[in-house]
């Protein structure tokens, strides 16, 4: 076997293994990212399953911080239907989404919105921070109590220039805000995460194709 053929064969095997490993997740991530702006959460309070332990624990933690449960939403993703538990602050100035992540990490996001299109978000315990004029998102890795504190401080920081946040008193209020968020920002916050997942799969695919062509050329 020639050196060129051996190199092509090794590249083909290694890149093929990488494509097999990376492609399914990359395809799923791309499908989720592509449809984010068009998807809408729906009220599923009447048919949702019982909350798992991780949700129950966080509902109690949010209750201790002055939040009450509004209901449950569902979202249809390429991988299937996903449920989220929604709580709202007693002062109606913010709401929180409690859900599980594909990685197994339980995620919580606290959100407030203003009539001028400004949004404030605080996510726990992991996420992607954002600092734009109309969208500010902070990540708090410590505790839910600290996340609530950081979010309330953010509201007070924005109040002088934007007024009071849009009130969230019932599920229709939350669903309207969710639709507004998706229309304004779509998948922009998912773009960095999607890129990190998709690019390695694309590169592995390119190497696989090139190594296959190289191998074929050595057989002639």
Residues 127 and 84 in one domain: yes
Q: Are both 156 and 59 inside the same structural domain?
A: yes
pLDDT of residue 104: 54
Claim to verify: residue 75 and residue 171 sit in the same structural domain: yes
Residues 24-78 pLDDT 10s: 776 665 555 565 655 778 899 989 888 888 899 999 999 999 999 999 999 877 6
Are 159 and 67 in a shared domain? yes
Shared domain check, 160 and 139: yes
Distances (CA, A) of 83 to 18, 49, 122, 181: 32, 8, 20, 18
73-99: burial string, b at 16+ Cβ within 10 Å, e else: bbbeeeeeeebbbbbbbeebbbbbbbb
Asked if residue 119 and residue 163 are part of one domain, the reply reads yes
Q: Are residues 52 and 124 in the same domain?
A: yes
This prediction has a pTM of 0.73
Instruction: Report pLDDT digits (tens) over 70-124.
Output: 999 998 776 678 899 999 999 999 999 998 644 456 889 999 999 999 999 999 9
Q: Domain check: are 172 and 69 in the same one?
A: yes
Structural domain harbouring 181: 40-188
121/201 same-domain check: no
User: Average of pLDDT values for 4-18?
Assistant: 76
DSSP string computed for 48-96: PPPPPHHHHHHHHHHHHTTEEEEEEEEEEETTEEEEEEEEEETTSS-EE
Give yes or no: residues 204 and 167 share one domain.
no
Percent of the chain with pLDDT over 90: 49
Q: What is the pLDDT of residue 182?
A: 86
The structural domain count of the chain equals 2
Same structural domain, 72 and 180: yes
Segment among 84-93, 120-129, 192-201 with least mean pLDDT? 192-201
Please indicate, yes or no, whether residues 112 and 17 belong to a single structural domain of this protein: no
């Amino acid at each position: 076997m020639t050196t060129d053929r051996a190199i092509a064969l090794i590249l083909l095997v290694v890149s093929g293994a990488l494509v097999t490993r990376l492609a399914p997740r990359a395809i799923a991530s791309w499908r989720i990212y592509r449809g984010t702006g068009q998807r809408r959460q729906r009220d599923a309070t009447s048919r949702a399953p019982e909350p798992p332990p991780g949700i129950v624990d966080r509902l109690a933690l949010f209750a201790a911080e002055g939040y009450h449960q509004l209901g449950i939403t569902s979202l249809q993703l390429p991988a299937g239907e996903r449920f989220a538990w929604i709580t709202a602050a007693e002062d109606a100035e913010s709401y929180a989404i409690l859900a599980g992540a594909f990685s197994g990490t339980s995620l919580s996001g606290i959100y407030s919105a203003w009539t001028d299109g400004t949004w404030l978000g605080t996510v726990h315990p992991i996420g992607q921070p954002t600092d734009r004029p109309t969208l500010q998102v902070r990540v708090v890795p410590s505790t839910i109590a600290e996340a609530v504190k950081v979010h309330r401080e953010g509201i007070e920081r924005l109040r002088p220039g934007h007024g009071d946040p849009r009130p969230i008193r019932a599920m229709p209020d939350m669903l309207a805000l969710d639709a507004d968020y998706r229309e304004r920002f779509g998948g922009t916050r998912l773009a960095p995460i999607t890129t990190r997942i998709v690019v390695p799969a694309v590169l592995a695919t390119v190497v696989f194709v090139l190594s296959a062509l190289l191998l074929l050329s050595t057989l002639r």
